[in-house]
Amino acid sequence: MKIIIVGCGKVGATLAEQLCEENHELVIVDKNPTKVQQLSESIDVMGLTGNGSSIHVLSEAGVEEADILIAVTGSDEMNLLCCLIAKKVSSCHTIARVRNPVYSQEVHFIQKMMGISMIINPEYAAATEMSRLLRFPSAIKLDTFSKGRVELLKFKLLPEFHLGGMTIAQIMDKLRCDILVCGVERNEEVYIPSGTFVLNDQDRISIIASPENSAKFFSKIGIHTQQVKNAMIVGGGTLGYYLASMLLQMKIKVSIVELNEKRCEELSDLLPDATVICGDGTDKKLLLEEGLERAEAFVTLSSFDEENILLSLFAKKISSAKLITKVNRIVFDDIVDELDLGSVIYPRYITADYILRYVRAMGNSLGSNVETLYHILDGQAEALEFAVKETPQVTGVPLAQLELKDNLLIACINRNRQIMIPRGQDTIQPGDTVIVVTTAKGLKDLKDILKKK
């Protein structure tokens, strides 16, 4: 497909890199010639310097022949205008990034009236992921499928669980829980394991199951699964506001530390049930006075990655709080992973996953669509949910007889809202939704799970 990306910031660059890997024809547009040059030199894209809301610039980018235009500049209004103009001069699909909470109540109206295919709010999406983690604080990462009926959870295998040195099959026999271990991260290696795979203490394990079955599993190995009762948030920006709003709805007590006095006043008006503390979030004395040692959750959302990382390390040292650390830049992600900062959230990845899901579903609108897509296992694998239509190569055939690609698991089947962890004699049927975990990138249709003959 031909895709135009307007805006070469963090999200635009991440999207361009991932879409380029999937062999789409890409054109990037930005006012900043340096950003355009750097990105077009690092990946195979056509770069264009200019204003993405200009008809002339969009025409030069080839909007009349484009399949999708994605507007992810720093301005909501610019993104909406780019999409509106693209719709007027072409029949392409349009995706806009809209971040301002002012528009959050009007998103569906804006989308419908302007004919925009998709509106994505990065801060709201990141806040949603964080709120899920605080509902289940023992998880490092928690993704949901099938409207919450299936969960993909990542946790660290600790010695006190007494599972190290056992195969996955032995663990399943011992615990008798209907879950599937679908991924293991060990040092810098990633595995899609079979039943004979031996787990080690300190492995990061990803499991897939219904919420009820995952709760049973964690209960049996002694992991606390109750949501936190209180949370301290450092940073009262848009993301902090969204997260605090969600946590208050979950009946979690919230305190927000924010340096800007005017912003504190705004937050006090917007969130009357939250405790807003006007002060420097890097002041250790202030954090201790406000009860960091007793906090059940500590979330760092400042604009500086280094600040967030150091604050989380400090909180880890003096408290047993669930840690969530926001990181924007991913240049040193391997070092960040080694620091054990609890749950590290990369907002740009979350946004890119939402948009990639839409692009993949568009790529095969008549086949088995990608309903949900997450990058998992430190970005080295994908978990995809397909809505199954008639696919003769796959449907009605026992899973044991399918010639699946290497490093690929059929992790879960949702049939009429019944969640099944599949076995070898189970089959996939039209109307099901199926969750696939794989290190093979770029699957667009269910038949892509098979080896090519």
**Does residue 301 lie within any of the structural domains?**
yes
Q: Tell me the three state secondary structure of residue 142.
A: strand
Residues 6+ away with beta carbon under 8 Å from 265: none
Q: 164, 187, 221 — which closes off a domain? A: 221
Residues 417-432, mean pLDDT to the nearest whole number: 93
Distance, CA of 60 to CA of 189 (rounded, Å)? 44
| pLDDT at 371 exceeding the cut of 90 | no
Examine the domain organization and report whether 27 and 93 are in the same domain.
yes
351 within a domain of the structure (yes/no): no
What backbone torsions phi and psi does residue 107 show, to the nearest 5 degrees? -55, -45
Same domain, 308 and 336: yes
**Within a domain: residue 273?**
yes
Domain that holds residue 305: 230-345
CATH number for 143: 3.30.70.1450
Q: Do 158 and 133 touch, CB atoms closer than 8 A?
A: no
pLDDT of residue 366: 47
What is the per-residue pLDDT across 233-244, written as a single tens digit (0 to 9) for each? Answer: 999 999 999 999
pLDDT in tens, 333-342: 667 777 888 8
Q: Total domain count for the chain?
A: 4
CA 227, chain centre distance (Å): 20
In this predicted model, what pLDDT tens digit does every residue of 46-56 receive, in sequence order? 999 999 999 99
112 and 6 in a common domain: yes
**What's the rounded Cα separation, in Å, for the pair 453 and 451?**
6
Residue 292 has pLDDT above 80, yes or no: yes
Give pLDDT tens digits for 234-287.
999 999 999 999 999 999 999 999 999 999 999 999 999 999 999 999 999 999
The answer to whether residue 86 scores a pLDDT higher than 50 is yes
Output the pLDDT for position 379.
81
Residue 57 has pLDDT above 50, yes or no: yes
Cα separation of 311 and 434, whole Å?
A: 40
Residue 207 CA to residue 185 CA, distance in Å, equals 12
Domain end: 56, 87, 120, which one? 120
**Domain identity same for 6 and 85:** yes
Q: Does residue 421 sit in helix, strand or coil?
A: coil
Residues 242 and 323 in one domain: yes
Q: What span, in angstroms and rounded, lies between the C-alpha atoms of 322 and 335?
A: 20
Mean pLDDT computed over every residue of the chain: 91
216 and 142 belong to one structural domain: yes
Residue 401 and residue 336 share a domain: no
Same domain? For 8 and 111 the reply is yes
446 close to 434: Cβ distance less than 8 angstroms: yes
Residue 198 has pLDDT above 60, yes or no: yes
- Taking every pair of C-alpha atoms in the chain, what is the biggest distance, in angstroms? 66
Tens of pLDDT, residue by residue over 127-162, are: 999 999 999 898 999 998 888 889 999 999 999 999
Does residue 331 register a pLDDT over 90?
A: no
Q: Which pLDDT score is estimated for 333?
A: 67
Using the predicted structure, report yes or no on whether residue 363 has a pLDDT greater than 70.
no
pLDDT digits 0-9 by tens, 205-232:
999 999 999 989 999 998 877 899 999 9
11 and 113 inside one domain: yes
- In a domain, residue 428? The reply is yes
Q: Is 235 left (phi over 0), alpha (psi -120 to 50) or beta?
A: left
Domain contains 128? no
Residue 130 lies in a domain: no
Residues 102 and 20 in one domain: yes
Q: Does residue 330 surpass a pLDDT of 80?
A: no
Q: What is the CA radius of gyration of the chain?
A: 23
Does residue 209 lie within any of the structural domains? yes
| pLDDT band at residue 328 under the 50/70/90 scheme | confident
| Residue 453, Cβ density class (10 Å: 0-12 exposed, 13-18 middle, ≥19 buried) | exposed
Q: Phi, psi at residue 308, to the nearest 5°?
A: -60, -45
- State residue 368's pLDDT score: 58
Give me the amino acid identity at 274: A
Of the residues 345, 374, 408, which one is the last residue of a structural domain?
A: 345
Asked whether residue 283 falls in the same domain as residue 367, the answer is: no
Section 412-430 average pLDDT: 93
Contact 392, 352 (CB under 8 A): no
Do 340 and 372 lie in a common domain? no
**What pLDDT score does 332 carry?**
66
352 part of a folded domain: no
Residue 367 has pLDDT above 60, yes or no: no
